[in-house]
Amino acid sequence: MSDTTAERFARLAAEPLVSTVAPSRGVGSWARSVKDIVSHRQLLGLLVRRDIKSRYKDSALGLMWTLINPLVQLTVYYTVMGQFLGAARGIEDFALYIFSGLTIYVLFSETVSGSTGSVLANAGLVKKVYVPREVFPLAATGSATFTFGMQVVVLLIACIVLGAPPLSLDILYFVPATLIMLIFGTALGLLLAGLNVYLRDMQYLSGILIMLGMWSSPIVYGWTMVRDTFAIAGLPAWAVDIYTSNPLTLAVLGFHKAFWMAGTADDYPTHLLLRMSIAIVVGLILLWLCHRAFARMQGNFAQEL
């Protein structure tokens, strides 16, 4: 005799529950997550291309907006901060100085802002099929990297046109500076993306963090101004070291070292490359911790959405 529907449901109810989400603890779990992301690399590529296309869909200028936005920012900061407030008087080739700082900072700001709302923006996909949730903030990082690459090309052209091509070996500082921004931006983006599913205020918090990061980095003012101001105020030397150890500060200084040819040794802290290397190691640890936090949160994403 076949089982009745009630009996079948009773047997199912007695079965132990099995999680369809991989455990979020231990190095083995992290390795499985990375392997899962790699296996979905084609989807990640599609999401990156979709983000780039959708951002400028139906606009007349299209990808030109990736160049217009930083150029407008450059003009405003150069005019207001450089000319009206006099910051340019203490910084030679102020246009290249501020443009190089803005270029590297846009990588961080777009990574964080895009990642924060990425899971919510793909709520329909999250609820319907299984994909590693990390691909959504990583797609935002990929889109930000594409924009960054286009702006670096414009920066190089600007350096050549203004007669200051970056031909020295200092151009190699481009690599650790970019790595710092990518690592810390991705780490913070993962954390905020997960938290934003449960607490939608995170998207507003990310905007505040981006603004604070902007003004706490030597983009529209010189690192030497901070050093001298701290000295005049009688602050101890370690106060300058704390400011300099900010990974955003180190990345901006590294980009200045790479593209701002008017800089001298006095414009940078000692052992800049060593400081940047330490920041990369710390950033990788932070990235692992943020990914673990994201993995713990993602189990209930579908229900929350």
Query: To which H or E segment does residue 305 belong?
Result: none
Is residue 4 in a domain? no
User: Which of 238, 220, 221, 240 lies closest to 230, judged by CA?
Assistant: 240
DSSP summary character for residue 17? P
Q: How many domains does the chain have?
A: 1
Whole-number Å distance between alpha carbons of 155 and 152: 5
Is residue 1 in a domain? no
Residue 27's pLDDT is 58
pLDDT in tens, 253-293: 999 999 999 888 999 999 999 999 999 999 999 999 999 99
Q: CA angle 42-47-49, nearest 5°? A: 95
The pTM of the full predicted model, rounded to 2 decimals, is 0.85
Tell me the CA distances in angstroms from 197 to 97, 187, 288, 298, one per residue in order.
38, 16, 20, 9
- Report the SS3 class of residue 68: helix
Around 264, how many Cα atoms within 13 Å sit in the side-chain half-sphere?
5
- Report the SS3 class of residue 268: coil
Place of tokens 């797609």: 139
Print the domain residue range for 235: 38-298
Residue 61's pLDDT is 66
User: Which of 94, 71, 96 lies closest to 82, judged by CA?
Assistant: 94
Is residue 79 in a domain? yes
Q: 133: exposed, middle or buried (C-beta count within 10 Å: 0-12, 13-18, 19+)?
A: buried
Is residue 19 in a domain? no
Is residue 21 in a domain? no
What are the counts of helices (DSSP H) followed by strands (DSSP E) for the chain?
15, 0
pLDDT per residue, tens digit, the chain (305 aa), is: 445 655 654 554 455 444 444 444 555 667 787 888 888 888 888 888 888 877 767 666 666 777 777 778 777 777 776 677 666 677 888 888 988 999 999 999 999 999 998 888 888 887 777 788 889 999 999 999 998 998 898 889 888 988 889 988 999 999 999 999 999 999 999 999 999 989 888 889 899 999 999 999 999 888 999 999 999 998 898 999 999 999 999 999 999 999 999 888 999 999 999 999 999 999 999 999 999 999 888 877 767 66
Query: For the chain, what is the mean pLDDT?
Result: 84
Tell me the DSSP string of 90-124: GSTTHHHHHHHHHHHHHHHHHHHHHHHTHHHHTHH
Is residue 248 in a domain? yes
Is residue 5 in a domain? no
Q: 6: exposed, middle or buried (C-beta count within 10 Å: 0-12, 13-18, 19+)?
A: exposed
Is residue 33 in a domain? no
Range list of H helices, the chain: 5-14, 26-39, 41-55, 65-77, 94-116, 118-121, 123-128, 135-161, 174-198, 202-215, 223-232, 237-244, 247-259, 272-297, 301-304
User: Which of 124, 145, 126 lies closest to 48, judged by CA?
Assistant: 145
